[in-house]
Structure 1
Amino acid sequence: MDSLNSKQHISSYIIHSQEEEIKRIALELHEGVGQNLYSIFTGLQFIESGAKELPMKNYVREMSQLIEKTIQEIRLLSVELHPPTLTTLGLLPAIKSYIKLYTSTFGILVDLDSIGEEKWISEKNRITVFRVCQEALANIAKYADTSNVNINFFWSEKDLKITIDDFGKGFHPDGQDNINPSYGLAAMKERMLLTGGQCHISSKIGEGTSIVLSLPLVSRE
C-alpha cells in the first residue's frame, strides 16, 4: 500500500509540474510572442500605408496577412494548451470554450448538456478533468470517424459524472484492430484515479465508444 501511495504521489507531482510548465508556455505564447507579432503587424500596416510603389505595397500587405494569420494560430494554440477560463470561470465554461475550437478545427459537432447545479471544483481537479475530456475528444478526432459527439455533465451534491459518446466505428478493447488508443486511455484512467475518481471506457465495433468519468466533490473550505 505504501508503494502504491508513493507511486501515486510521484505521478501527481509529475503531472502538476507538467501543468505548471504548460500554463507558463501558454501565457508566454499569448502575452509574449503574440504581443511581439502584433507589434510587427501594426508596423507593417504603417509601412503599407506609406508605400508608394504598388508591388511593394502588395508585398507588405501579404506579409501583414501572414502575420495576422500567425497571431490567430498562436492564440488558438495558447487556448488549447491552457484556456484562461479554466482558472477564472471554471470547468464547464472552459469545456464550452474548447468545444468551439475543437469543432472549428475538426468539423465534429459536440452537443454539450449540463444537468444539475454546477459545483465548485479545486483547480487541480478542474485541470485533470479538462485534460481527460481533451484527450477523449482528441482520440475521437483521430480514431472514431464520426461527425457528432454527445457530452453530458451530471451534477449532484456528492459527485460529478461526465459521459462522452462518439457514435463512431468503435474499437476492440484488446487492440486487435490496431486502432486502440491504449496509451491515451491508460493516461486518462490514471489521471482520474489521482483525483479519487474513475474513468470507465467501453466500445463496440460499429456502435462507438462511451466514456464515463466520475469525480467526487468536496465542500469548499
Structure 2
Amino acid sequence: MDGLQINQKINSYIIDSQEAEIKRIALELHEGVGQNLYSILTGLQFVESGLSEQNMKSYVHEMSELIEKTIQEIRLLSVELHPPTLTTFGLLPAMKSYLKLYTSTFGILVDLTTAGEEAILPERSKIAVFRVCQEALTNIAKYADTSKVKMTFHWSGAELKITIDDFGKGFQLEDHDGTHASHSLGIAMMKERMHLTGGKCEISSKIGEGTSIKLSLPL
C-alpha cells in the first residue's frame, strides 16, 4: 500500500469518525436536551395556569415562550447536523428538507430540479454528497452575496450529477487560498469527500457572474 492509499484511508477514517460523533450529538440534542427543555416548558405552563398575580404570570409566560423558541432552535440544529430523513428516506428528500431550513435561515431561495429516477446510495455516499452540498450552500450564504441559487440533480443509469449555480459575485480561484482560508478549507474538504467516494467535485467561478459547482458520483 503506497503513501497515497494510506492517506486516503486515514482521511476516510477521520471523516467516518466525525460523522458518527455528529450523529451522536444530534441525537443527544434532540432526545436529551430537547426533551428536558420540553419537560421544563410543560412544568412552567402548569405553574402559569395556577398563578393569579398578573406580573408573575406574565413573567412565567415570557419564560415559557423563550424555552419554546429554544426547543425549536435545537430541533433545527439537530436536523442540520444529521437529518433523520437522510437515513430513512434517502438523499433527495433529505436535501429538500434541508433546503427549507436553509431558505428560512438565510433568505436564499434554492430552485431545485431533478431528472431521472433516484438510485439507492450506500450510506457513506449519501452522507458525503449531502455534506458537500451543505458546505457549498453554506459558502454561498457566507460569500456569494446572492438571493437565488439553482440546483439540479440528474440521475442516470451509471452516474449522479449535481450542479449548484449561485449567480453571485464570484471569486478568483487562483487567489482564493490566501484570501479566505476558511472558504478554501471548505472547498478542499468538499473535493476530498467526493474523491473518497469515487466521485468528483469541480468548481468554476467568474467575478460578477457567480460560482458553479459540479459534482459527479458513479452509481
Q: TM-score w.r.t. structure 2 length?
A: 0.97
Once the two structures are TM-superposed, the CA of residue 2 in structure 1 deviates from its matched residue by 1.4
- Contact kept, 8 Å, 1:159 with 1:215, in 2: the verdict is yes
Q: Secondary structure at the match of 2:24?
A: helix
Give unmatched runs, 5+ long, in structure 2: none
Cα distance in 2 for partners of 1:43, 1:133 equals: 40
Give unmatched runs, 5+ long, in structure 1: none
| Paired residues for 1:1-221 under 5 Å | 2-175=2-175, 178-179=179-180, 181-217=183-219
Cα distance in 2 for partners of 1:143, 1:182 equals: 12
Summarize deviations over 1:101-120 as a string: whole Å, max 9, x none.
00000000000011001101
Cα distance in 1 for partners of 2:109, 2:149 equals: 6
Q: Secondary structure at the match of 2:179?
A: coil
Cα distance in 2 for partners of 1:197, 1:142 equals: 25
State the AA in 1 paired with 2:214: V
- Contact kept, 8 Å, 1:110 with 1:150, in 2: the verdict is yes
Cα distance in 1 for partners of 2:27, 2:180 equals: 34
Q: Secondary structure at the match of 1:128?
A: helix
Cα distance in 2 for partners of 1:173, 1:52 equals: 64
Greater share of residues in helix: 2
Identical pairs, percent? 74
Q: Secondary structure at the match of 2:168?
A: coil
Cα distance in 2 for partners of 1:210, 1:45 equals: 50
Cα distance in 1 for partners of 2:192, 2:130 equals: 14
- Contact kept, 8 Å, 1:113 with 1:152, in 2: the verdict is yes
Q: Secondary structure at the match of 1:201?
A: strand
Query: What is the root-mean-square deviation of aligned Cα atoms in Å?
Result: 1.1
- Contact kept, 8 Å, 1:143 with 1:179, in 2: the verdict is no
Total equivalences in the alignment: 217
Q: TM-score w.r.t. structure 1 length?
A: 0.96
